[in-house]
């Protein structure tokens, strides 16, 4: 009678176990940092969102509920948190609105990731699932979207008024919305343009007036007065 001795698999070495724990700690640190940024601006979202008072190192105080402005004033060091700041900036450049929403949604998705990771689901599976959900969400949004042409000025003004309703100047939306729309239409060709470079539009702030004094200038505005100096040339007659 022969007996076969089978060896049990060797337990993972200390180095392997430490590496797995390190990977887990890095993922947890990234999620916590990103969620912290999302929680900072979460309360400023929506028509009932609260304004934030931010003081810069030089003593300048800014009061706003705009997500891009808040994140721009924050001194963020963590790489994962900086990604959310860049996300907000990219949204601001591309659409000009929704800067708070994208950060809050990203924070909510990362919170869901944390729960899925605790259940033992592999990060790759979670990422692939999010990609599929993103494609499905785009299909749904495109199906319910209403096409808008840049030649439809009144529709553009309604969209601008809706965007301003959540801002500090919401009570002046009927004044500022037409100015914003006309400023955009003057720097693009509505027949061919699909986006606008906001660097072509400059906002000049002047003290001493009210919002009702705001106007659109089709040209260049000089913030300082320039004195013209005339040089007198004396010539002697022969």
pLDDT digits 0-9 by tens, 1-41: 445 444 445 555 544 444 466 667 788 888 898 888 888 88
* Helix runs in 43-98, H state only: 67-73, 79-94
Residues 32 and 63 reside in one and the same domain? yes
Q: What is the DSSP string of 139-207?
A: HHHHHH-----TT-HHHHHHHHHHHHTTSTTGGGHHHHHHHHHHHHHHSS-TTT-S---GGGS-----T
Flag whether 8 is in a domain: no
If asked whether residues 79 and 163 sit together in one domain, one would say: no
pTM above 0.85, yes or no: no
| 104 CB-contact burial (10 Å; exposed 0-12 / middle 13-18 / buried 19+) | buried
pLDDT in tens, 119-163: 889 889 999 999 999 999 999 999 998 888 888 889 989 988 887
Examine the domain organization and report whether 154 and 114 are in the same domain: no
Residue in 73, 37, 70 with CA at minimum distance from that of residue 52: 70
Task: Tell me how far apart the alpha carbons of residues 223 and 205 are, in angstroms, rounded to a whole number.
Answer: 9
Predicted local confidence at residue 135, as pLDDT: 95
pLDDT recorded at residue 127:
92
DSSP 74: S
| Domain coverage including residue 116 | 17-144
Query: Does 74 map to a domain?
Result: yes
How many other CB atoms are there within 10 angstroms of residue 185's CB atom? Answer: 16
What kind and span of H or E run contains 55? strand 52-55
Residue 5, domain member (yes or no)? no
User: Is a pLDDT exceeding 50 seen at residue 234?
Assistant: no
Give the C-alpha distances (Å, rounded to integers) separating 207 from 60, 177, 213: 16, 21, 11
pLDDT, mean of residues 74-83: 86
- Final residue of a structural domain among 116, 144, 172: 144
Same domain for 114 and 80:
yes
d(CA 170, CA 164): 5
Same structural domain for residues 132 and 198?
Answer: no
Which of 32-41, 77-86, 92-101, 154-163 is predicted with the least confidence, judged by mean pLDDT?
92-101
DSSP conformational letter for 64 = E
pLDDT of the residue at 143:
93
34 shares its domain with 139: yes
SS3 62: strand
Say what the pLDDT of residue 14 is. 46
Across all residues in the chain, what is the average pLDDT? 80
Residue 12 lies in a domain: no
């Amino acid at each position: 009678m022969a007996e076969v001795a089978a060896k049990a698999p060797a337990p993972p070495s200390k180095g392997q176990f430490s590496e797995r724990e390190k990977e887990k700690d890095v993922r947890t640190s990234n999620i916590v940092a990103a969620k912290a940024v999302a929680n900072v601006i979460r309360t400023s979202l929506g028509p009932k969102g609260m304004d934030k008072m931010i003081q810069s190192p030089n003593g300048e105080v800014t009061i706003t509920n705009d997500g891009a402005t808040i994140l721009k004033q924050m001194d963020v060091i963590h790489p994962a948190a900086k990604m959310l700041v860049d996300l907000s900036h990219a949204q601001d450049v591309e659409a000009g609105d929704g800067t708070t929403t994208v950060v809050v949604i990203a924070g909510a998705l990362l919170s869901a990731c944390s729960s899925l990771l605790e259940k033992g689901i592999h990060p790759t599976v979670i990422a692939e699932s999010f990609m599929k959900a993103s494609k499905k969400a785009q299909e749904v949004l495109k199906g319910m979207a209403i096409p808008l042409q840049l030649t439809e000025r009144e529709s553009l003004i309604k969209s601008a008024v809706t965007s301003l309703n959540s801002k500090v100047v919401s009570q002046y939306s009927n004044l500022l919305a037409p100015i914003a729309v006309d400023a955009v239409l003057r720097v693009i060709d509505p027949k061919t343009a699909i986006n606008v470079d906001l660097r072509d539009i400059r906002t000049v702030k002047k003290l001493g007036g009210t919002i009702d004094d705001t106007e659109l200038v089709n040209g260049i505005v000089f913030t300082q007065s320039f004195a013209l100096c005339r040089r007198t040339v004396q010539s002697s007659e022969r």
